[in-house]
Amino acid sequence: MNFVTSAEEAVRGITDDSTVMIGGFGVAGQPVELIDALIDQGATGLTVVNNNAGNGDVGLARLIALGRVRKIICSFPRQSDSWHFDEKYRAGEIELEVVPQGNLAERIRAAGAGIGAFFTPTGYGTELAEGKETREIDGVHYVLEYPLRADFALTKAWTSDDVGNLTYRKTARNFGPIMAAASSHSTVQVSRRVSAGDMDPEAVATPGIYVDTVVNIPEASTKGQDS
């Protein structure tokens, strides 16, 4: 685990054609500065894992608009302001894998937890399970789903201590802990850094073992500076 001093440095190692998980649900937990740095960094041919497929003209939407995303794996791509994704999709310029949100989360969790595959009831009997292996266990129908791994994860946490233990704020936690664990190299932007020993060990939501690179980008505007 190492600290770097800029978002630019934090994303320097991301390679073309790699799979990148990007945390956040809405604005909560979105690693805005890391995504902007990835846009500037230039890696292309990316497979991106996110809950959505970009909103408006910035962040992930801009990465898509620039043609840098070959494939997106998400639960809910179509939104009122997902016009860049919509355009690329209709032009056949981006591949889409739609995954029910809980299956998406569990596939990510399974990758970090070393699970080979799992049977889930979600999606059974629907078109999103077509072609997939199914099994009836104790009278319940399940669909076989495989883990989802990534080369890199870009997430946002609230506080890191010196060894990369992380805490989150409120619903900004969302995909942060599971994406950090599911990626070969996890990069986290935090809003505060504290010394080892100054974080309550009981409050650690992501132990530092899952964290490779941390960049501290304080944000004056975020509420709850006291929490």
Instruction: Tell me whether residue 19 or residue 55 sits nearer to another protein (CB atom).
Output: 55
Using CA atoms, how far apart are residues 148 and 129, in angstroms rounded to an integer?
16
Name the residues that contact another protein, by CB under 8 A: 25-29, 75-79, 86, 89-90, 96, 98-103, 105-106, 108-109, 120-128, 141, 168-178, 205, 222-224
Q: Which one, 41 or 79, has the nearer CB to another protein?
A: 79
**CB closer to another protein out of 43 and 107:** 107
For another protein, which is the closer residue by CB, 15 or 171? Answer: 171
- Smallest distance, another protein to C-beta of residue 174, A: 5
Give dist(CA 113, CA 57) in Å, integer. Answer: 35
Smallest distance, another protein to C-beta of residue 15, A? 26
Best CA proximity match to 111, nearest among 182, 178, 50, 207: 182
| Closest distance of CB 30 from another protein, Å | 9
The distance of closest approach from Cβ of residue 210 to another protein in the complex, given in angstroms and rounded to an integer, is: 12
CB of 214 to another protein, least distance (A): 18
3-state secondary structure the chain: CEEECCHHHHCCCCCCCCEEEECCECCECCCHHHHHHHHHHCCCCEEEECCECCCCCCCHHHHHHCCCEEEEEECECCCCCCHHHHHHHHCCCCEEEECCHHHHHHHHHHHHHCCCCEEECCCCCCHHHCCCCEEEECCEEEEEECCCCEEEEEEEEEEEECCCCEECCHHHCCCHHHHHHHEEEEEEEEEEEECCCCCCHHHCCECHHHCCEEEECCCCCCCCCCC
Nearer to another protein, 17 or 219 (CB): 219
Q: Which is nearer to another protein, 120 or 183 (CB)?
A: 120
